[in-house]
Amino acid sequence: MRTARRRYLVFRIHSGATLSRKDASELLKEVSQNEALSITLLVYVPNIMEGIIRCDHRDIEKVRQMLGGPLKGNVITTLRASGTIKTLRNAFPELSDSRKKRNKS
């Protein structure tokens, strides 16, 4: 049996109030528990309410559908999907984690 390939999604939460990382994580847990999906929150920036999640390549369409619906008065939109985090961080520099950058000498 083949192992699952990972896919990464950039998402944005549309809400009346700014959500913390904990609130965003709880919102995503609700989505994953309802459909038994494996979703992991990797990066979340509260001031712009955008982040990166990881899921299985077989579940990517289900994840997009579940994120598209209203959740506790919030709407989550998927901005882009990719097979690597590096591609998403290059496309969305505000989601880059500056602590993990290496000095090139």
Domain segments of the chain: what residues? 6-92
The matching CATH number, chosen from 3.40.50.720, 1.10.3720.10, 3.30.70.3250, 3.40.190.10, for 6-92 is 3.30.70.3250
Tokens linked to 97: 């984690």
- Using CA atoms, how far apart are residues 105 and 103, in angstroms rounded to an integer? 6
Q: What integer pLDDT is reported at residue 4 of this predicted model?
A: 76
Place of tokens 């919102």: 27
pTM of the model: 0.82
Tens-binned pLDDT, residue by residue, of the chain (105 aa): 567 789 999 999 988 888 899 988 888 888 777 776 788 899 999 999 999 999 988 888 888 888 877 777 788 899 999 999 999 999 999 988 644 544 444
Helix (H, G, I), strand (E, B) or coil at 8: strand
